[in-house]
Structure 1
């Protein structure tokens, strides 16, 4: 709710003197063209006429859309407008109540109810009744008024209006102390907008002074009523104007993205509940002064700078160069409407354009022109624009745009001897994903209202910090490209550059990954280490078979920095081979048997492998290299080789997919592997009861995690065959049969399990 100063910002972007000078500087041809355009746009002014009194009146286009929304979402406070004022001093209750009664008598919109006649919504102006001003005394022993007041304000602000029976205007006075009160006004949006609030509070202050100490003060009568404006909207001349404006908006919004792809903390619900919260943003005085300097330099308004900063924030969060953001305009294009309380505020859509890596100054000028064009064509109800676009209905999000930038008009208060300051009413409502508001003065509400179904408070706090950082960058370095603007807060920079990089930690006595495995063998020799179908290897058995292979390799001349190829189908022998190669001080080079021969040849060529551990049916794929088969090592010793490895030795070489060219080998050293596994264990915290199912190919780096994470804590590694890992039904059965407790896999594998309706135990 509320309206931005977008419309006002255009006329305030330069002074009258500056405008005259700019006109004088125009060349004759452009001055003539401007004069011609103004003549073409000139239309005879026809004032809004006052209607004869009637029992019922039609709704305005603004009211009509809101009324329909209320029918779709009944019994919600989504369109309650609630404001509160802290009044310090000796409050005169009778004068305040009389002033509020005078407001109710003066403004018919506050006494309007809504009814259905012959299937059409209509509004009825009711006679003024006596206003009730309840006083809620919060001076209760043991009650913290600062803590209880927000709860009372929120509860009162969420009380539902009966649109067909209730006054759409409520006032409540909270007594905090004899000289401290809070006045809360709650009005339904059908009868009020941000401009109206300014009128009401200004007139309330005048009337309060009148009833209190300055009798005889009279407010000028309104020229027309809100119902006259509603009827005027439907006149033929206005319909023609609306049709012209709608065509411009359809061209302006053509090809605009339908959704702002803003990442959320929670899944978007199918139906937007409207639940929200507010978080305040304080703009320091020094930053405000710096922005005002830029206002003058760039011939823009503060509103335009703040909107540009919001565009840049959303661009940096989403990566989108073009998107739509909602804002609001007063909707009071006719002077007769300026003194009327009612629902005039209208929505305006502005298209953000951050394409081409623009600088801040370029973005400011784009925003300036965009706002000027939008305001020039804003004298058509937004609802008519939406109807013409025939948008698909989506109850989960606001149509056309999902974020709003709002800068409601500012107002100040003078309650005679009372000191009046605003109090935020957290109505816990949000009609959009995000709503950024900038307001100062008596209605200070600068900050973000967000949909709590989508975002956590911590995310919004970070977002406000990033917005403030961008505003500082705009003020101090407007020549820099927006993609290079600093956005992190100082605490975030400290966390990212210092704290998160302070990863030094005590290192275990083990020099290599197989040393840690041997230590685990001593702790749990009889536990199952590897399970493959009906075949099992205990920690002792796995270690002894790996030792035999290691002794064999050493006898073949394998040692530190030697590279041994490894091409085996998924089986316990694969795990034995990896450990045996590492125990011999060598590094293994994994080659998946399922890979094309060309890829295997490329890896062998790049690494210069001369020795290959493989199986009988694969030997023919590796000509020119010596091969070792399972069973060749049976005669070798069972004890640990006892070789002293170095943390800097290679553990394995893993090759990239080659999607961007020739596959490249990454050399992983022992210390990196040990560091990774120990760090992962600190997070995952597996213990001896865990059963981790391995489905990853040996040629993927993450296979090392599936192998060593369970084997360093006494857990069991469940090895899935290639066929099982690629079959959703078979994999689901194995998960259940093996009593698997942990599985890490790619999104493709998880989707495969979802497709077969697998459910974790």
Structure 2
């Protein structure tokens, strides 16, 4: 018996249709369980190849558990390894490399000299089950794979388009040839290299008769501290198995106390700042009372003062109150961009109601659906848009833009138009309802309360250092919640809102000339808009204007290459650059990253930063446990900015707005569906989505949402496919490709 016999078995496996069919089915849609990025090495001289020997008590419990289940210790340790890989990768469908013995299965085959090993892709889906069930599942899976262990890994790799299946390996060493070699090695001895691999993380488990179980980890792509943590996870998993094998593995955390402190406390150590004003319009009213003659808004040659805007909004508020509007009522508003739009928002808020913005640029079907869904107490529209909505039981207030100037002047001298007093109106009442895309194919209304928005407004003022000297660009449609940070913080500090003319849509020469002409100091831009701007700057066009001191981006992932272009193209270092992140359900944005040019560019990705005041970030794995630093998980947002929920969608609200398992009894989290990870510096990096949602120019687009529209517009019986892709020529703007016949 020689190694040639093993080669013959390998060739026979290559010719076997059964082997090929097994591996094709076993590895179909296999996901790569990626390890976290390497952290900066704190101590380059730190020892590597960490090893440990389990205590005799734990070893005895594990042996008894394996015996009770009728499985070898190898299967138990392999199950622990899979759980460790799941912890390190954030994956539930885990594939690792299993070092398998392919020695000849004949008498004295174990005495034939040679390295008879094949490292197999070992795949297992870790469902929510007990430790015992997980070990049995692993054992059954192992038996199934071993029947096909002679199929060479290299052929699987070639069949997989030369893409790796794993970057971790598990090797169980229990051969007689090692007995004499390692007879007197204690725990320190496990640092010796028995099996060297090129994999990012290799785990060797040792067991010898009458001795303990040893574990050695060689993490070539991780730092020494990460290697130690990985070994700690493995030991904690085995101890949990031994302690209570009937418990669910999914309901347990294996992080150290120090890690939990970082994730729960240190990284979320934001100031707890009480609100200055309980209502989002109260700061504006205070400013209007003390500085009525200061300019509040500028639009196409028209400059309106705080006193004029406040008085006009009061008149509308009193009119709404006469119509019976009460706190938590919803008032829909459909108006084109103009100062009347701003007045309407303030008037609705002053009357105690929540405004529901309806962008007239949206399709009529969407507007009709929103109007029916929110069932407003009142509808406010411009005169030119009145015909778009059917007459019904809902009262309608019509505004004629041609009369705006006279109305503002008249309102400013009307003594009856004082600030309405609504004693029962408080922070827990609705401020606005913004409709976003949804997985159901229909938009859903997000219910945002005054207390949610007030925290954002005051945090935004402090983050951006806003003052009465600022002129803030009002770029976003009022149907986007980004308009909140453009309008209300500016009015609270006494700044001036500069409304973008409707025709200025791209950062070209005309756009920059407009901003320079009005001396804009702060611009809050969609990320894709800023990407396009940096593309213009590369070509020496659309350079920043002198008065600009702050650029804020948000709504999509900011790409590092564009920040590099921003810096290389000569953007003055005096211009602060801030990246924000957050969905409507967490009130505009919940994390912030302020780039410091003196610190250089980020090394890999632009972080989305740290939580804003009175907010928390939890990154959880698929089992609801805290993801370790560097490991990708779903971003959950908590704190006072978490919205009330979805309008008339109790099931969806219950599934997306959940209790915070790490907070007090009243704490809630919003499940964003976004994937991210913590860095060792306590910043969050955005990675992507866990579903098929895409962002196109700031719009949430559910790919399934297009299906009903195309079905309605095309003959029955046809099947179509959709693709969202980037157009390189437009520097990162997305577009929907035309539907294609499937």
Give the shorter-chain TM-score range.
0.5 to 0.7
Higher fraction of helix: 1
Q: Does residue 566 of structure 2 align to residue 618 of structure 1?
A: no
Deviations 1:715-754 (A, max 9, x none): 7766556776599998435985675611222442278696
Match of 1:386 in 2: 154
Q: Matches of 2:229 and 2:288 in 1, distance apart? A: 47
Residues 705, 370 of structure 1: alpha-carbon distance in 2 compared, 3 angstrom cutoff: same
Q: Does residue 444 of structure 2 align to residue 634 of structure 1?
A: no
Whether contact under 8 Å (2:97, 2:169) holds in the other structure is yes
Residues 724, 304 of structure 1: alpha-carbon distance in 2 compared, 3 angstrom cutoff: farther
Please give the residue correspondences for 1:668-679 in structure 2 after superposition, counting only pairs within 5 Å.
668-679=448-459
Instruction: Give ranges in structure 2 of 5+ residues lacking alignment.
Output: 40-46, 512-528, 537-541, 557-694, 699-724, 734-742
Q: Does residue 373 of structure 2 align to residue 591 of structure 1?
A: no
Residues 240, 332 of structure 1: alpha-carbon distance in 2 compared, 3 angstrom cutoff: closer
Q: Matches of 1:300 and 1:712 in 2, distance apart? A: 68
Alignment RMSD (CA, Å): 5.2
Q: Does residue 57 of structure 2 align to residue 289 of structure 1?
A: no
Q: Does residue 227 of structure 2 align to residue 253 of structure 1?
A: no
Q: Does residue 184 of structure 2 align to residue 404 of structure 1?
A: no
Tell me which of 490, 512, 515 is aligned to 2:279: 512
Tell me which of 86, 96, 99 is aligned to 1:328: 99
How many Å apart are 1:694 and its aligned residue? Answer: 5.8
Q: Matches of 1:556 and 1:519 in 2, distance apart? A: 22
Residues 475, 523 of structure 1: alpha-carbon distance in 2 compared, 3 angstrom cutoff: farther
Q: Matches of 2:216 and 2:292 in 1, distance apart? A: 62
Whether contact under 8 Å (1:324, 1:349) holds in the other structure is no
Match of 2:696 in 1: 748
Q: Does residue 132 of structure 2 align to residue 361 of structure 1?
A: yes
Higher fraction of strand: 2
Tell me which of 305, 315, 321 is aligned to 1:551: 315
Whether contact under 8 Å (1:566, 1:591) holds in the other structure is yes
Q: Secondary structure, in 3 states, of the residue corresponding to 1:614?
A: strand
How many Å apart are 1:554 and its aligned residue? Answer: 1.7
Q: Matches of 1:509 and 1:348 in 2, distance apart? A: 63
Residues 752, 616 of structure 1: alpha-carbon distance in 2 compared, 3 angstrom cutoff: farther
Q: Matches of 2:507 and 2:254 in 1, distance apart? A: 46
If the length of structure 2 is used for normalisation, what is the TM-score?
Answer: 0.55
Tell me which of 77, 85, 95 is aligned to 1:306: 77
Q: Matches of 2:31 and 2:386 in 1, distance apart? A: 56
Match of 2:739 in 1: none
Q: Secondary structure, in 3 states, of the residue corresponding to 1:635?
A: helix
How many Å apart are 1:423 and its aligned residue? Answer: 7.9
Residues 263, 708 of structure 1: alpha-carbon distance in 2 compared, 3 angstrom cutoff: farther
Match of 2:12 in 1: 244
Which of structures 1 and 2 has the bigger CA Rg? 1
How many Å apart are 1:635 and its aligned residue? Answer: 0.7
How many Å apart are 1:613 and its aligned residue? Answer: 3.2
Match of 2:334 in 1: 567
Whether contact under 8 Å (1:437, 1:447) holds in the other structure is yes
Q: Matches of 2:19 and 2:132 in 1, distance apart? A: 26
Residues 337, 357 of structure 1: alpha-carbon distance in 2 compared, 3 angstrom cutoff: closer
Q: Matches of 1:519 and 1:472 in 2, distance apart? A: 61
Whether contact under 8 Å (1:584, 1:641) holds in the other structure is no
Q: Does residue 117 of structure 2 align to residue 352 of structure 1?
A: no
Q: Secondary structure, in 3 states, of the residue corresponding to 2:24?
A: coil
Whether contact under 8 Å (2:92, 2:125) holds in the other structure is yes
Q: Secondary structure, in 3 states, of the residue corresponding to 1:609?
A: coil
Q: Secondary structure, in 3 states, of the residue corresponding to 1:352?
A: strand
Match of 2:706 in 1: none
Please give the residue correspondences for 1:63-212 in structure 2 after superposition, counting only pairs within 5 Å.
none
Deviations 1:139-194 (A, max 9, x none): xxxxxxxxxxxxxxxxxxxxxxxxxxxxxxxxxxxxxxxxxxxxxxxxxxxxxxxx
Q: How many residues align?
A: 506
How many Å apart are 1:311 and its aligned residue? Answer: 2.4
Instruction: Give ranges in structure 1 of 5+ residues lacking alignment.
Output: 1-45, 49-231, 269-275
How many Å apart are 1:568 and its aligned residue? Answer: 1.6
Q: Secondary structure, in 3 states, of the residue corresponding to 1:241?
A: helix
Q: Matches of 1:476 and 1:665 in 2, distance apart? A: 47
